[in-house]
Chain A
Amino acid sequence: MITRPTPAWIRRLLVFATGLIAVLLLSAPAAQGYHPGTPAAPSAVASSSLPAGQIVAQEFSDRISGVLRNADGPLPDVTISVSGNGFDGETTSAANGSWSIGVPEQGAYEVTLEVDTLPEGTALAEGQANPRTVTFAGTSNVTTLFLFGDGIVANTTSFWDTLAERTLAGLSFGLLLALSAVGLSLIFGTTGLTNFAHGEMVTFGAVVAFGFAAIGLPIFVAIPLAVVAGALLGWVQDAGLWKPLRRRGTGLVPMMIVSIGLALALRYIIQFNFGGATQQLPGAQSARLDFGPVSISQNNLNSLLISLVIILLVGFLLLRTRIGKATRAVSDNPALAAASGIDVDRVIRIVWMVGGALAALGGILWAYYRPGVSFNMGQQILLLIFAGVVLGGLGTVFGALIGSIIVGLFVEISTIWLEADLKYVGALLIMILVLLFRPQGILGRKERVG
């Protein structure tokens, strides 16, 4: 800590800092040009005349949405009007029954379903309030569902069906958390750093994917490019910042605070370029697929499969390859690993790149899950990622996987009983309780706790 900094490393840090700012300030003009960060207040008519379900440029970042369907299928061309906070607008449901309307600010709105625009023979179910009041709860999107049919009361699905559906969604969410958590845990294991800037690495992936998509690349090209960019960000961070700090012998707590500074800087650099609004990646709305009692949206299913494959791949690499073995050795004891001929710096460099790539992929999947890309999306799940890592045991890769899945399941299943705006609270409480009784986490070793 007290070693005098060498001029060479000061130069490196300054080069890193200016480079980082220059690159990120100038990086995403595509996104900026495509969707201006500070939209002029558009007229309500313009926003609501868009066909719902097909979200093009969003003028407002806050939205009220829902899906209209009865037992026979989706209900298209039904008019829904929204008023409140000095705003009046209306929209019609799309062919798949979905509708969505942007509102200028968060708050309470009165949502009315125009009953005379419903198709013949369809009526609202008993007990369905119309008009009804919808209130934002901190998120930029609220959903309200109108249920249809004769004598159907609100709670039609059985508890077990709901549970199965929530479990599937939770698995999808948990696996996407696991992508980021595995990277965080690998970095913690090999360097001891609790990286608070990991949330911004998540955001970075989604924002870059959006940027590539905005300049016209197809999404299946944009996503791999964004993942590569995430790996690059990991490499730049390690080479420009963390490696010099390690060289200098900086303690773990100062490094943690440096990562907080980096998180703040990156978050506002992203907002600087991207603006404060929520944007959608191409294909953000997808059809729901039914598998017997449970249904899941196509995007969530894809996300589940992609994260599963990637995590199995990472597990295989860790267990079966030389570099994986070296990573586990460094994680166990860096000095001993170095003594037995492992290039510790190289391993850490690779871990940062893998961590960055996984975080970027996690961010893209998170953008589809929410859905939406915004500058603070990574910050929103950072604590859930931490919860997954801590639950499984800091520094253990497979613990991070198990912990994240538990967090994901818990978040989704708890919505059966808890209000949706409290769903993250349950996961965080579970983390604190586990620390009470098993501080080292599920797979952690006791020595890791002080």
Chain B
Amino acid sequence: MDFGNILALAFGEMISPTTAAYALAALGLAVHFGYSGLLNFGQAGFMAVGAYGYAISTLTFNAPLPVAVLVALTASVLFALILGIPTLRLRADYLAIVTIAAAEIVRYIVTTNGLTDVTGSANGLANFENGFFALNPLAPGSYNVGPISMNERDLWIRIVGWTIVALACLTVWLLMRSPWGRVLKGIREDENAVRALGKNVYAYKMQALVIGGLLGSLAGMIFTLPRGAVQPANYATELTFFLYTCLLLGGMATVLGPVIGAMIFWVVLSLTQGLLYGAIEIGAITFLSNVQAGQLRYILVGVALMLLMVFRPQGVLGNKKELAFA
């Protein structure tokens, strides 16, 4: 068992584009749930809309990169509006059920055989990332980042992904300390009090839903670009639940919480995988197969989510007074 290698892999996970995508999507959830109290269980749907919006406009309509990104973002705004109009007046648990249903509807629609020409059905779409990598200014070669080395494509997607995460964090931070953000937190604490001040609660909630959804859509693109493929199975409800785990790990009403939560989530997954596989390899654990070791990690995710919610709902960074529920 090579501990140095396991640690290097864990570090690689920490800065991977998938982690950046999780951080961004979880930041969107922080805007929804942490700051506004909207229990959005459909973040996977927003990510799917972003990823498919980008892939379809690139492949079917040959759109250049900026147009494709714009289409993806517009699609997520539309999705937020369609989702928000019927549901934002509902109580939290109804909202949760409707948003999770809407995300599943998106997944069923991109999986259906009738649309195979456009969405690629269950196999998904591929080969839409060339426009993005054509912008890469880095010379081909091998780059060392800490203990790991990567090629110019890997480094480029990481630079872009984490730059977007940093910009998104800055934007959310500025938004939440503005008067607009204070109204949003007021809605979370007491909707009727804010309404009594003459604010249009519905409009504020809708704006929050759109902003969080845009972050989810960007996350969907960052998630899918390094893979060079988008598949519906990646956007199931479990993705949303993992994002909630990241959010609760870091702290739900914080800007950096979702980012740190996503990093912890992936580092812990990578470490447990490395240690379990290593232990199986040297024969220290004989009662597990590699497949079962993989499943064991997700059992731990579920248990961790329960324990977090019960014992430390504010997460690593959060403040207990700032919880979206009392």
Q: Residues of A with Cβ closer than 8 Å to B?
A: 1-2, 5, 13, 17, 21, 37-38, 106-107, 135-138, 194, 245, 250-254, 256-258, 260-269, 271-272, 276, 379, 383, 386-387, 390, 394, 419, 421-422, 424-425, 428-429, 431-433, 435-436, 439, 448-450
Contacts and interface: CB of A to CB of B under 8 A. Distances in A.
B132 interface: no
Contact of B325 (A251, A394, A435): A251
A252 B93 contact: yes
A253 B113 contact: no
A436 B82 CA distance: 11
A253 B98 contact: no
A422 B289 contact: no
| Among B104, B304, B306: residue with most chain A CB under 10 A | B306
A37 B98 contact: no
B174 interface: no
Contact of A439 (B90, B100, B299): B90
Contact of A265 (B94, B100, B299): B299
Given A136-B122, A428-B101, A265 B306 contact: yes
B306 A261 contact: yes
B301 A390 contact: no
Interface in B84-130: 85-87, 89-94, 96-98, 100-102, 104-105, 108-109, 111-114, 116, 121-123
Given A136-B122, A450-B91, A265 B303 contact: yes
B326 interface: yes
Q: Which 3 A-B pairs have the closest CB atoms?
A: A265-B302, A264-B302, A261-B305
Contacts of B295: 268, 271-272
A421 B39 contact: no
B167 interface: no
B325 A254 contact: yes
B291 A386 contact: no
A13 to B, nearest CB: 7
17 contacts: A107-B123, A138-B233, A194-B96, A254-B310, A257-B305, A258-B309, A258-B310, A264-B299, A264-B302, A265-B303, A265-B306, A379-B237, A390-B97, A422-B112, A433-B86, A439-B90, A449-B94
Interface in B227-252: 232-233, 237-238, 241, 244-245, 248
A394 B109 contact: no
Main secondary structure on B side of the interface with A? helix
A268 B308 CA distance: 18
Contacts of A422: 108-109, 112, 114
Contacts of B302: 261-268
A2 B301 CA distance: 24
Interface range for B: 35 or more
| Among A264, A432, A436: residue with most chain B CB under 10 A | A264
A383 B116 contact: no
A394 B101 contact: no
Given A262-B302, A394-B94, A432-B102, A135 B289 contact: no
A255 B244 CA distance: 14
Contacts of B121: 135, 137
| Among B248, B302, B323: residue with most chain A CB under 10 A | B302
A37 B291 contact: yes
Interface in B281-326: 289, 291-292, 295-296, 298-299, 301-311, 313, 320, 323-326
Contacts of B326: 1, 251
Contact of A137 (B86, B112, B304, B306): B112
Given A268-B302, A386-B101, A419 B113 contact: yes
A435 B94 contact: yes
A228 B296 CA distance: 27
Contacts of B244: 257, 260
Contacts, number: 166
Nearest to A433: B86
A38 B113 contact: no
Contact of A256 (B90, B96, B105, B248): B96
A138 B122 contact: yes
B97 A194 contact: yes
A271 B299 CA distance: 10
Contact of A260 (B97, B105, B113, B305): B305
Contact of B298 (A21, A258, A264, A450): A264
A35 B58 CA distance: 45
Contacts of A428: 101-102, 104-105
A363 B232 CA distance: 26
B206 to A, nearest CB: 15
Given A138-B108, A428-B104, A431-B98, 13 more contacts: A138-B111, A253-B92, A264-B299, A264-B301, A265-B303, A266-B302, A383-B104, A425-B105, A431-B97, A431-B101, A435-B94, A439-B90, A449-B94
A91 B303 CA distance: 44
| Among A261, A263, A425: residue with most chain B CB under 10 A | A261
Contacts of A250: 310
A271 B113 CA distance: 28
Contacts of A136: 122
B127 to A, nearest CB: 18
A394 B93 CA distance: 10
A268 B298 contact: yes
Contacts of A256: 39, 93, 96
Contacts of B303: 17, 21, 261, 265
B101 to A, nearest CB: 4
Contacts of A13: 310
A272 B101 contact: no
A325 to B, nearest CB: 26
A257 B309 contact: yes
B114 A419 contact: yes
Contacts of B111: 137-138, 421
A392 B166 CA distance: 45
B310 A435 contact: no
Contacts of A5: 311
A21 B304 CA distance: 13
B171 to A, nearest CB: 26
A269 B102 contact: no
Nearest to B293: A272
A438 B253 CA distance: 33
Contact of A390 (B92, B94, B323): B94
B239 to A, nearest CB: 12
Contact of B305 (A194, A264, A267): A264
